[in-house]
Structures are given as structure tokens and as C-alpha cells.
Chain A
């Protein structure tokens, strides 16, 4: 059906509309995406490669990178588990409060990140609900790594679930039911039927989740305490260096963050290109 549509010659109003839309999209992308991204790299290398390398070799920069990766390494797998479980529950079962659960999953999208950070300070801060108890047991959450992880998990909560739910809804459960009828155990069904069906949406969710986990600023800023070399993630380090008039350093760290994002995008494109056929057959509703 699509091929017949494509062969039919387009009238000039439609061709014009197509042209305008393409140009608009390109100009928009150029202005709001490519240009700022290029600026980051130009500013980072403004004083040469030597200054760039010097800026990112400082212990504070290295520790910020390490912390960012650590936080993402903990937050992303947690979100994968939660996201798959939530999507499973939402699409395979009927239960009271399902709509409420859906709204809850979306909550981090609608709450300002700064507020999300403050919630944790109010809960786990020394003056907060659990503060005195944590203090007595010498457990540090706020102004330490656990707080950063908590805030990041909260902020990135919806990404995986929100990618999976529409896909699993459109796919239905026929294949899974067939697997059960043919004698597969629950886990067999999950790993051999469900997971292959959702893997592209899952991968996409993981990539989005990872990008946000590494780039989150607001919530992390509130719970961090900004202890240099200990609780500053890369986005915080960027702000700090900008405030210190160290523009090369700020943009150098920012360019590393941008590189991580580009790398993520590259992996996604590569996998789509490599496994494009499977993608088309298995995930019609995916990305």
C-alpha cells in the first residue's frame, strides 16, 4: 500500500508544503541543536588541545566523571527492572488503581527537578523526617552518593516504562499466551518471547534514561552539597567552573558530556542499522 502511495505524483501544493516543512525542520535543528553543540566544542578548544587536556585531567574533573558514571551505572539498571515490571503490570493485568499507577509513573516528568531534590532533603536531611534516625546510625544519604543516586533514579523513573507501555499494549499478549500453552515456564516466556519483542523499545528507553541520568542538574544540585571531588557530578562541575571564570574548563567538561550523548546516539543508530530488518518485523510500533 505504501509503495502505491509513493509512486503517485505529488501536486505542487503538496510538494511546496513538503519543502517548507523540511526547510523549517532543518533550520530549527541547525539553530537550536547543531549551533549550540558546535559552540560547546569551539569554546572547549578555544585555547588549543593542550588547555583542553589539562582541564579534563584535573582530579576534580576526573572524580566528577567517575561519579557521573557511577550514578548512571546504579540508576539505569534499577530503572530497567522497574520499567519492565511496571510496563508488564500496566499492560498485562487489570487492577484497581491502574490509572493512578500510570499517573504516578509520569509524576517525575511533571514535578520540577529542584522540587524532587528538595523532597529528599526534607525526608533525609538532618532536620528531615528520617534525619535523626539516620544520624544515630551514621548513614549518610543527603550530601553523599546515595542522595545523588536517589535523586537521579526519581528523575529518570518514567523513561523505560513510558517507552515500553505503548509498545506492549499494541503487541498484545497472544504470543506470550501461545508460549504458555506450548509449555514454556514464566521465565522462558519472558526471555524468549517478551524480551525479544520489546528489546528495541527497551534499548531506546535505556539510552534516554542514561542520557538524562548523566545530564541531570537541578535535582542533583539540591542534594549534592557541592563538595568538590566528592559529590559533584559532571553537570555540577560545569557550572562550578563557569562560575570560576574557567570558561575553557567549563566547556571542556561540557563537551565530554555532549560526547557521551553523541556516543549514546551513535550506538542507537548503529544498532538500528545493523539490526534494522529485525526491528521492522518485531517492533512495528517502536522507534
Chain B
């Protein structure tokens, strides 16, 4: 009996201690929540290409979480070789700590965001509440689901899209925009902490009339959970969401993985990478790929964060810092 026990224990220790992925280059990609499906395919395709080109195996590990939380984790020492986050501000936060070069946004094309998305509405089948545009969200009795901009990067895009819509209306000013957004957030029934949580609230728990969501998230939810249950409404004007990517300089230099990390991010801009992005409901940058997926991504008027808000740092300070506009709205001011 003791002999048997020791054999069992010994083999258990061996099994627990064994490493399933030995002898290959490993990259860690710290990303935000809704990119799980995208990067699963990107990683497989990139590994295949790297193998044929260089003959080396590369294994890309993923870490997913809220965009801001991921940025903080990298600052706290998460050994990510690349970050692929929801907004430039979060990468700026890592750059401020000296882990990424300040000019990261100029190191890759298109302000370092290889794919884009936009903010749309997900409504229930048949659009029973007749929601067509931003103005419909603040009609009496409409319940809106969107995550909390304080904790969710995705939700900040939602907030700015709404603000931008109000600003672009005839006679729109910061005052009218603030009034519109304040009314909008009074219609919010559940303020989840993250984008995926908000989607689950709307889709799985059946709460709310409309979910303000990233287009990729809305398309994916509809694909995964039933085309016959939800419809996507593209508003008249919305924001161009540009999720950025960057190599974490301090970490790749420590790991000796700069070349493969750079190739990994370049791969996102390649025809194959763009195709995978489009398949996963992100709008590709390459016109040829975009043309093939035109029916999936209806044309709409968009504005960028730089045009309307002077970039993320300014938008963050004006709207989302402690005591800024979002806090004032919450406090009822």
C-alpha cells in the first residue's frame, strides 16, 4: 500500500511538473476581451507562416481582459511581448512607464491599428422598438445596455460615439452633447464592467432593448447566438474605433523576441491577416480585402477620435478622469 501510494504520488508530481510546450519560441500577446476569436486564428496562421519562412516553431500565448486592466498588468510586470488593446490611451499608459517607446504609434501603418471597427446598435429581432439612430435611444421607455466607461475601454468608444453624434447635429455644442449623453446614460439599465459582460447581459439574460456595441462584437454575438434573434442597426453617424497594437520594447529586449514580435504585428497588415480580421468582423484596412467583405460592413459616416476630441489623451482628461465629465454626469451635474 505505501509503495503504491508513493508510485502514484511520484507520477502525479511528474505530470504536474511537466511542460507541455517545450522547445519553441513563445510570444505573449496581452489583448482585450473581444479579440479572443480573432487572435486564435491569427496565431495559428502566423505560426504556420513563420514555420514555412523560417523553419522555427512559434507559440503565441494569449492573455485577455479589460483593456485598461491589461495595460496595468503589463505595467505591473505581465511579460507580454506585444499588446493589442482597445484604445491608444492604454498603450500610452504603458509607454509613460518607459516600457514602450513614445513614438509607438508611428512605427506601424495607420496609426498602429491594423483593423478598425465602429459603434453600432444590437437590437432584438424585428427591431420591436423601432430604433434607427442615436436619437431613438433616449425615447421614453427604451432600456440601453452599455458597459461602464470608467472600467471598459470599449465603453469609452460608445460614450464618445454618442457625444460625437450630438456634437455633429445642427447647432451641436459641448452643452447640447452633454445634455444628450446625460439623458442617454439615464436609460442605461445595466452598467457592466466590461464589453463582453454587457453583451452577455443583453444576449443571454435578455435585459434591455438595445446594446451599444462594437460592430465586431455585435456581428459575433449574432453569429454565435442566433441570427434569428438579433438585428444590427448602423446609426447615421458613428465613431471610427481604431484598436492599436504595439511591441512592448522592454519585454522583447529581455526575452530576445523583438524580430518575431515585430513580424507578428506586421502579419496583421498582410493580406492573410487582413482577411482573418475581416472574417472575425473587424473592418480591414486593405481596400482589396474590404471590397470582398463590403456586404458585411455597411458604409456609414464616421469621425475619428483625433478629429473630434484631439486624441485619446485629451479625451481621457476631458471625459473619463476622476471628476471629469462622466463623473459629473453620474453625480447628476
Q: Which residues of A contact B (CB under 8 A)?
A: 59, 62-63, 66, 69-70, 73, 121, 125-128, 131, 135, 140, 142-143, 225-230, 240, 242-245
Contacts and interface: CB of A to CB of B under 8 A. Distances in A.
Nearest to A231: B63
B20 interface: yes
Interface centre among B20, B33, B76 (most CB of A within 10 A): B76
Nearest to B221: A245
Given A73-B16, A227-B62, A228-B61, A245 B77 contact: no
A63 B61 CA distance: 13
Nearest to A138: B254
Nearest to A69: B16
B77 A125 contact: yes
Interface in B1-44: 12, 15-17, 20-21, 28, 33, 36-37
Contacts of A73: 12, 16
A127 B72 CA distance: 10
B62 A228 contact: yes
Contacts of A121: 76
A244 B61 contact: no
Leading 4 A-B pairs by shortest Cβ distance: A126-B77, A125-B76, A245-B224, A70-B16
A63 B292 CA distance: 39
Contacts of A227: 28, 61-63, 78
Q: Is the contact region of chain B dominated by helix, strand, or loop, or is it mixed?
A: helix
Contacts of A62: 20
Nearest to A128: B76
A230 B79 contact: no
Interface of B: 12, 15-17, 20-21, 28, 33, 36-37, 61-65, 73, 75-79, 97, 196-197, 200, 220-221, 224-225
Given A59-B20, A73-B16, A244-B37, A143 B79 contact: yes
Given A125-B77, A243-B33, 9 more contacts: A62-B20, A63-B20, A69-B12, A142-B77, A143-B76, A227-B62, A243-B64, A245-B220, A245-B221
Nearest to A225: B78
A62 B19 CA distance: 12
A66 B33 contact: no
Given A229-B21, A243-B33, A126 B62 contact: no
B16 A126 contact: no
A63 B62 CA distance: 14
A87 B281 CA distance: 58
Given A227-B62, A243-B200, A126 B75 contact: yes
Contacts of A225: 63, 73, 78
A143 B73 contact: yes
A143 B74 CA distance: 10
B294 to A, nearest CB: 26
Contact of A66 (B16, B36, B63): B16
Nearest to B37: A244
B73 to A, nearest CB: 6
Contacts of B197: 243
Contacts of B33: 243
A60 to B, nearest CB: 10
Given A66-B15, A243-B36, A226 B65 contact: yes
20 contacts: A59-B20, A62-B20, A70-B16, A126-B75, A128-B76, A140-B79, A143-B77, A143-B78, A225-B63, A226-B63, A227-B63, A228-B62, A228-B64, A229-B21, A229-B61, A230-B61, A242-B200, A243-B196, A243-B197, A245-B224
A263 to B, nearest CB: 15
Contacts of A140: 77, 79
Contacts of B77: 125-127, 131, 135, 140, 142-143
Contacts of B79: 140, 143
B249 to A, nearest CB: 14
B64 A240 contact: yes
A126 B225 contact: no
Contacts of B20: 59, 62-63, 229
B75 A127 contact: yes
A210 B15 CA distance: 19
Nearest to A232: B63
Contacts of A126: 75-77
A113 B200 CA distance: 24
Contacts of A143: 73, 76-79
A128 B79 CA distance: 15
Contacts of A244: 36-37
Nearest to B197: A243
B109 to A, nearest CB: 29
B16 A127 contact: no
Contacts of A142: 76-77
Interface centre among A125, A143, A229, A242 (most CB of B within 10 A): A143
A227 B79 CA distance: 10
Contacts of B97: 127
Contacts of B17: 70
